[in-house]
A and B are shown apart, each in its own frame.
Chain A
Amino acid sequence: MTSQRELDEEFAEFARGAAPRLLKAAWLICGDPHQAEDLVQSAMVKVYLRWSRLRDGSPLAYARRCLLTTHIDSHRRTGREYAVAETPEVGSWDRSWDDTDEVVRLLAALPLRERQVVVMRHYAGLPEAHVAELLGISVGTVKSSASRGLARLRQALHPTGDAHEGDRSAEVREGNHV
Chain B
Amino acid sequence: MSDTHELDELLQRATAPHMHFDPAAAIATGRRVRRRRRIATAGGALAAVTAVGVAVTAAVPGSAPLLPAGPSQSPAVSAKPTGSAGPSATERCFPSDTERGTTWASGSAEGSQRGGKVVVEATVREGCGEDVVGLGDFNGDAQVTVMFKAVPTTAQWVVADAAVLFLPAGQRPCGYSFGRDLPKATVLPQPNGWDLVIQPVPGAQLRTAAETGTVDICRGTAPVKRGLKQIGWDGPGTCNLDNLVGVKVPGAEQWVDETLTVPGAGRLTVDAQLHPGCTGDGHTSSWDPKRGARLEVDVPALPKAGLWDTVWMGDALTGVFLVPPGQTVCDIDFSRSGLAGKPNLVAPQRLSQSGGWTVVAQPLPRLDNPLSLRASFCTGQKVTKSGVVPSS
Contact = CB atoms under 8 A, between A and B. Distances in A.
Candidate in A38, A103, A153, A173 with the most chain B CB atoms within 10 angstroms: A103
A48 B27 contact: yes
B221 interface: no
Contact of B11 (A4, A12, A122, A163): A122
A95 B372 CA distance: 14
B331 interface: no
Contacts of B95: 52
Interface string B9-34: 01110111111110111110110011
Interface residues of B, number: 38
Contacts of B20: 37
Given A49-B97, A122-B11, A44 B2 contact: no
A153 B21 CA distance: 30
A36 interface: yes
B338 interface: yes
Given A41-B29, A168-B3, A173-B8, A103 B336 contact: no
A157 interface: yes
A16 B20 CA distance: 10
B19 A33 contact: yes
A77 B337 CA distance: 12
B2 A170 contact: yes
A103 B21 contact: no
B181 interface: no
A151 B132 CA distance: 60
Interface string B78-108: 0000000000100100010100000000000
Given A34-B335, A82-B340, A103 B3 contact: no
B11 A119 contact: yes
B169 interface: no
Interface string B302-334: 000000000000000000000000000000000
A84 B389 CA distance: 28
B67 to A, nearest CB: 18
Contacts of B26: 11, 15, 41, 44-45, 47-48
A16 B8 CA distance: 24
9 contacts: A11-B27, A12-B24, A16-B23, A41-B25, A44-B23, A48-B30, A74-B338, A170-B5, A173-B8
B368 interface: yes
A176 B12 contact: yes
Contacts of A169: 4
Contacts of A153: 3, 7
Contact of A27 (B3, B17, B34, B336): B17
Ranked nearest first, the 7 interchain pairs of A and B with the lowest CB-CB distance are: A48-B30, A103-B14, A12-B23, A19-B21, A44-B26, A123-B11, A15-B23
A103 B11 contact: yes
B91 A4 contact: yes
A103 to B, nearest CB: 4
Given A12-B23, A37-B20, A48-B30, A77 B88 contact: no
Contact of A44 (B4, B16, B21, B336): B21
A157 B20 CA distance: 30
Contact of A81 (B4, B23, B338): B338
A78 B25 CA distance: 25
Contacts of A23: 16, 19, 21
A40 interface: yes
Contacts of A101: 14-15, 17
A150 B7 contact: yes
A24 B6 CA distance: 18
B16 to A, nearest CB: 4
Contacts of B30: 45, 48-49
Contacts of A154: 3
Contacts of A106: 10
A73 B56 CA distance: 14
Contacts of B24: 12
A42 interface: yes
A153 B7 CA distance: 8
Given A22-B21, A123-B8, 19 more contacts: A4-B91, A11-B23, A15-B23, A24-B14, A33-B18, A35-B336, A40-B19, A40-B21, A41-B26, A47-B26, A49-B30, A49-B33, A101-B17, A154-B3, A157-B3, A157-B6, A168-B4, A169-B4, A170-B2
Interface in A68-109: 74, 77-78, 81-82, 95, 99, 101-104, 106
A142 B351 CA distance: 58
A48 B10 CA distance: 32
